[in-house]
A and B are shown apart, each in its own frame.
Chain A
Amino acid sequence: MMRLELVKRPQRSALFSALSPFIAFLLTIIAGAIMFALLGVNPLKAFEIYFIEPISQVWQLHELAIKAAPLILIAVGLSVCYRANIWNIGAEGQFILGGIVGSMIPVLFPQFEGPLVLPLMLLLGMVGGAAYAAIPAFLKTRFGTNEILTSLMLVYVAQLFLDWLVRGPWRDPQGQGFPQTVQFNDSAILPEFMPDSGRANWGFVFALVAAVLIWFLMSRMLKGFEVRVLGSSPRAGRFAGFGLNRLVFFAFLLSGALAGLAGISEVSGAIGQLQPVISPGYGFTAIIVAFLGRLNPLGIVAAGLVLALTYLGGEAVQSALGISDKVARVFQGMLLFFVLGCDTLIHYRIRLIGFAAPKLEAAPKLEEAR
């Protein structure tokens, strides 16, 4: 009998820290190949359909950008939270609330048109997401609740609230009973930024701008320093005079606002109305994007494109090979698993221990854990 033990490495390898996402991607491909083979599909053929065909034409790149935009927007916000050691798992809910609050103008005031509509909607979307994120922040700072649980549970509240809205008070009276709101008027639609070549909207530009701004904030500004200090050593952060409660609100409001912006951009750009479901799990997939991008906003842009491809590929294999598009979820799950696995092995090495060995490990382990 053997058991496995993780032993902290004295030094981290800078090389493997940088390579880790690529190794994880490679391992995902290998595991994916095994999965396709088990499903009775030629893995090479499947990979071509999954990873290459969806991005072989310019209009398809636009589709990629549409999927990547919300992922990147949400993930750069989450990266600030996670760097601060604050665990906002509820971006999906903040995304939905951003969509709902931003949609108030075209749904409740469909006659209101003009150039002011869209900026107001985007602003309201950010306010909605931030306000929804303020709930777990308040509960954490006031009552010491675990933000992982509260933010996650609020996702389901948001999903059901949206469902109720579009079936109830906000349902389109001319919609033949379909659970959806009115189609937004033209001035409430987020325009395409290169309409000649495809339908990608300005949401992708927002995502890129947000990534650059957050990168600048985290690496060049005192606020980013505060986030990193409090996230890595809270006591040193307190010694520096930084307040943890203030940071909890800052991180939640910032990530909530970005998730809300992603939500309203998706609703007003890609969908054009509110429906019972407005997200294929962007808020959760963005967690993978944040970690795959190593919590670095610029890495997140690349990671967001990769994860967006898994969505497109999932749709492609469904239509071409008749495999369930749940395969996209499988790929995302494997990717997160391998990323976290690689990261763990950068910090720890595995030691095999036979049960014959002396059982006096606890004391040094404690010491090493420091």
Chain B
Amino acid sequence: MSANQDGANLLEVRGLTKIFGTLTACDHVDLDIAKGEIHALLGENGAGKSTLVKMLFGSLEPNSGEIFWNGQPVRIANPGFAKKLGIGMVFQHFSLFEALTAAENIALSLDDGSPISTIAAKARALSFSYGLPLDPESLVGDLSVGERQRIEIIRCLLQTPQLIILDEPTSVLTPQEADKLFETLERLRSEGKSILYISHRLEEVKRICDRATVLRHGKVVGHCNPREETAASLARMMVGNEVKAVVRAPAEGIETAQPLLEIRALSRKPATPFSIPLKNINLNVRAGEVIGIAGVAGNGQGEFFESVSGEVLQQDAGSVRIRGKDAGGLGITDRRLLGAAFVPEERLGHGAAPRMKLSENLLLSRHATDGKVFVGAGGMVKSEAIYSAAQRIIKAMDVRKSAPDPEAAALSGGNLQKFIVGRELDRKPGVMVVNQPTWGVDAGAAVRIRQALIELARSGSAVLVISQDLDELFEISDAIAVMHNGELSRPLPIAQATFEKIGLLMGGAEPGHAEHALETA
């Protein structure tokens, strides 16, 4: 490692610019990161955060601008060189093999031929010294998302970086897991390491970050001390104007309303060694209400979503009923024809085909429900009708894009999510089931999506939202149920739900406990 010059910035970025076609993703970005600070990088989706970070990590080459490392100009040509300099990165999306142990996954990335046992010992020592308990011998497939993230962090730390880049690290964690992560970050800071912390969660940025750089439309719009700002003022800097709060009109008369989605004694055996069995799930979602399902990631939410959507069929046709009809034996197309709409957690590769245009991705979920409009006689696709419908959705949801009808993969995560949610809302479905509606989505887009879901419910639809984001569920739900280890608690009406009660259930308190809480509240 090059000699440290005390007091100098570890990393300085001057005028860094990256142009994709006609889009200037980063426009003369300046950024200083001092030694031993946690520096927040804030911005809406599509503001250029990912592009900037990719240039720092050598995955993208800037068009112009300079990067100084310890005062020396450097050209970071590839991630290998970035690591050699001392830059480590923990990605938002993990790259781990589920069938291998944690130590084996780490060994793969180190690629230096040390025996697994040595690596496991090192990883174990490191995990204890940083308060990130991890058993290196455990299979990744058996680990929770939080534990998987620890593997990524330890893998990064084993390379003794000076600068650690964390991309949306808490988006997959429970409040308790996030607290643990913050302790680790603070310890790293006290050792003089620098951290570049990318997030859109303003409260946590205020809590742990020393300085913040705010990006908007590829430009730096300000540097600030987040502790001196309010969440509202930070949001204003990011978005450029005031972020509207979600308005939740009181739901009226839902006690007597018809249940549009009924889940009765839904059980499912685990399909793979790494999936969670579902155990006797019961739930009604009535017309006009939003029901939230909370839970730590990997407690069966994905399996539950697949079962409700019809990507996986049930043996008992009555275990899923949509608008009063047995749907357990019907596939996803027939369930859509009954009036249901689905938004899965994964956008690229599940909710949307990455290499297909937005208009084609519109056809993806609506070729049957809008068969007459989009598909003509003999199975001919009506491209023009689909194109104009796609443009209508793009306009309604304010999807920002660089071409009239780009490939799904060309959109930022938040904009693609707006399109995918908009694609279903555009149908005005009677039943809407959404898994992680605003995962990794910026504040402005998240408010828009949440508001749209509430309005859909108030117009007479049943809306079921599965989310790991408790703030979100408290903002939009009329009642919250908790999924833990494949079981679902009874929904708590929002007036009686507290973070503490929901947190207890997330941690595995028995479903009966919630009923008790319900009765005594």
Q: Roughly how many angstroms separate A83 CA and B142 CA in the complex, as a whole number?
A: 35
- A358: chain B residues at CB < 8 Å are 80-81, 83-84
- A221: chain B residues at CB < 8 Å are 378-381
- A238: chain B residues at CB < 8 Å are 311, 332
Q: Roughly how many angstroms separate A11 CA and B60 CA in the complex, as a whole number?
A: 11
Is B99's CB within 8 Å of the partner chain A? no
B411 → A minimal CB distance (Å): 15
Q: Roughly how many angstroms separate A332 CA and B371 CA in the complex, as a whole number?
A: 45
Which of A236, A238, A361, A370 lies at the interface centre, i.e. has the most chain B CB atoms within 10 A of its CB? Answer: A236
Is A196's CB within 8 Å of the partner chain B? no
Chain A, residue nearest B82 (CB): A364
Q: Is the CB of B80 within 8 A of A360?
A: yes
A110-123 Cβ-contact flags toward B at 8 Å (1 or 0): 00000000000000
Q: Roughly how many angstroms separate A367 CA and B111 CA in the complex, as a whole number?
A: 15
- B352: chain A residues at CB < 8 Å are 236
- A233-B349, A360-B80, A360-B111 given; A10·B363 CB < 8 A: no
Q: Roughly how many angstroms separate A236 CA and B350 CA in the complex, as a whole number?
A: 4
Picked from B112, B332, B356, B364, the residue with its CB within 8 Å of the CB of A359 is B112
Q: Is the CB of A370 within 8 A of B93?
A: yes
A364 → B minimal CB distance (Å): 3
Q: Interface stretch among A166-174, A224-232, A260-268, A317-325?
A: A224-232
B466 → A minimal CB distance (Å): 16
- A222-B379, A360-B159 given; A239·B365 CB < 8 A: yes
- A370: chain B residues at CB < 8 Å are 93, 95
A325-369 Cβ-contact flags toward B at 8 Å (1 or 0): 000000000000000000000000001010001111111101110
B355-385 Cβ-contact flags toward A at 8 Å (1 or 0): 1100010011101100000010011110100
- B350: chain A residues at CB < 8 Å are 233, 235-236, 239
Is A212's CB within 8 Å of the partner chain B? no
Q: Is the CB of A222 within 8 A of B355?
A: no
| Segment 112-150 of A: residues with Cβ below 8 Å from B | none
Q: Roughly how many angstroms separate A223 CA and B364 CA in the complex, as a whole number?
A: 12
Is A241's CB within 8 Å of the partner chain B? yes
B85 → A minimal CB distance (Å): 10
Is A240's CB within 8 Å of the partner chain B? yes
Q: Is the CB of B349 within 8 A of A241?
A: no
Is A3's CB within 8 Å of the partner chain B? no
Is B354's CB within 8 Å of the partner chain A? yes
B423 → A minimal CB distance (Å): 12
Which of B111, B311, B365 lies at the interface centre, i.e. has the most chain A CB atoms within 10 A of its CB? Answer: B111
Is B79's CB within 8 Å of the partner chain A? yes
Q: Is the CB of B353 within 8 A of A360?
A: no
| Segment 50-93 of B: residues with Cβ below 8 Å from A | 57-60, 78-81, 83-84, 91, 93
Q: Is the CB of B379 within 8 A of A223?
A: yes
- A240: chain B residues at CB < 8 Å are 332, 364-365, 367
Picked from A228, A357, A364, the residue with its CB within 8 Å of the CB of B59 is A364
A177-200 Cβ-contact flags toward B at 8 Å (1 or 0): 000000000000000000000000
Is B414's CB within 8 Å of the partner chain A? no
Chain B, residue nearest A10 (CB): B60
A75-99 Cβ-contact flags toward B at 8 Å (1 or 0): 0000000000000000000000000
Q: Roughly how many angstroms separate A370 CA and B364 CA in the complex, as a whole number?
A: 22
Is B396's CB within 8 Å of the partner chain A? no
B208-242 Cβ-contact flags toward A at 8 Å (1 or 0): 00000000000000000000000000000000000
B429 → A minimal CB distance (Å): 15
Q: Roughly how many angstroms separate A222 CA and B380 CA in the complex, as a whole number?
A: 6
- B109: chain A residues at CB < 8 Å are 360, 362-363, 366
Q: Is the CB of A241 within 8 A of B78?
A: no
- A220-B381, A360-B111 given; A236·B95 CB < 8 A: no
Q: Roughly how many angstroms separate A226 CA and B113 CA in the complex, as a whole number?
A: 45
B240 → A minimal CB distance (Å): 28
Q: Roughly how many angstroms separate A364 CA and B81 CA in the complex, as a whole number?
A: 11
- B379: chain A residues at CB < 8 Å are 221-223
- A237: chain B residues at CB < 8 Å are 353
A351 → B minimal CB distance (Å): 7
- A10-B60, A233-B353, A358-B84 given; A225·B381 CB < 8 A: yes
Q: Is the CB of A236 within 8 A of B364?
A: yes
- A10: chain B residues at CB < 8 Å are 60
Is B155's CB within 8 Å of the partner chain A? yes
Q: Is the CB of A364 within 8 A of B336?
A: no
- B20: chain A residues at CB < 8 Å are 11
Picked from A241, A362, A364, A366, the residue with its CB within 8 Å of the CB of B332 is A241
Q: Is the CB of B331 within 8 A of A241?
A: yes
- B356: chain A residues at CB < 8 Å are 228-229, 232
Q: Roughly how many angstroms separate A360 CA and B368 CA in the complex, as a whole number?
A: 48
B337 → A minimal CB distance (Å): 10
Q: Is the CB of A360 within 8 A of B110?
A: yes
Is B504's CB within 8 Å of the partner chain A? no
Is B351's CB within 8 Å of the partner chain A? yes
- A220-B381, A359-B111, A359-B112 given; A367·B336 CB < 8 A: no
Chain A, residue nearest B109 (CB): A363
- A222: chain B residues at CB < 8 Å are 363, 367, 375, 379-381
- A360: chain B residues at CB < 8 Å are 80, 83-84, 109-112, 159
Q: Is the CB of B381 within 8 A of A236?
A: no
Is B288's CB within 8 Å of the partner chain A? no
B419-439 Cβ-contact flags toward A at 8 Å (1 or 0): 000000000000000000000
Q: Roughly how many angstroms separate A362 CA and B83 CA in the complex, as a whole number?
A: 12
B288-331 Cβ-contact flags toward A at 8 Å (1 or 0): 00000000000000000000010100000000000000000001
- A11: chain B residues at CB < 8 Å are 20
Q: Roughly how many angstroms separate A232 CA and B407 CA in the complex, as a whole number?
A: 13
Q: Roughly how many angstroms separate A78 CA and B471 CA in the complex, as a whole number?
A: 52
B241-257 Cβ-contact flags toward A at 8 Å (1 or 0): 00000000000000000
Q: Roughly how many angstroms separate A229 CA and B20 CA in the complex, as a whole number?
A: 27
A234 → B minimal CB distance (Å): 9
- B336: chain A residues at CB < 8 Å are 241
- B108: chain A residues at CB < 8 Å are 362-363
| Segment 1-58 of A: residues with Cβ below 8 Å from B | 7, 10-11
Picked from A229, A351, A363, the residue with its CB within 8 Å of the CB of B364 is A229
Q: Roughly how many angstroms separate A225 CA and B381 CA in the complex, as a whole number?
A: 9
A144 → B minimal CB distance (Å): 15
Q: Is the CB of B351 within 8 A of A351?
A: no
Q: Is the CB of A367 within 8 A of B95?
A: yes
B176 → A minimal CB distance (Å): 27
- A243: chain B residues at CB < 8 Å are 331
- A235: chain B residues at CB < 8 Å are 346, 349-350
What 18 new A-B contacts, CB under 8 Å, besides A229-B353, A366-B109, A367-B91? A11-B20, A222-B367, A222-B375, A222-B380, A225-B367, A228-B356, A233-B349, A235-B346, A238-B311, A239-B344, A240-B332, A243-B331, A353-B80, A357-B84, A359-B110, A360-B110, A367-B59, A370-B93
Q: Which 4 A-B pairs have the closest CB atoms?
A: A241-B333, A364-B79, A366-B95, A363-B109
**A-B residue pairs in contact (CB < 8 Å), sample of 29:** A11-B20, A220-B383, A221-B378, A221-B380, A222-B379, A223-B379, A225-B363, A229-B353, A233-B355, A236-B364, A237-B353, A239-B332, A239-B350, A239-B351, A240-B365, A240-B367, A241-B331, A241-B368, A360-B111, A361-B80, A361-B111, A362-B109, A362-B111, A363-B155, A364-B59, A364-B79, A366-B95, A366-B109, A368-B59
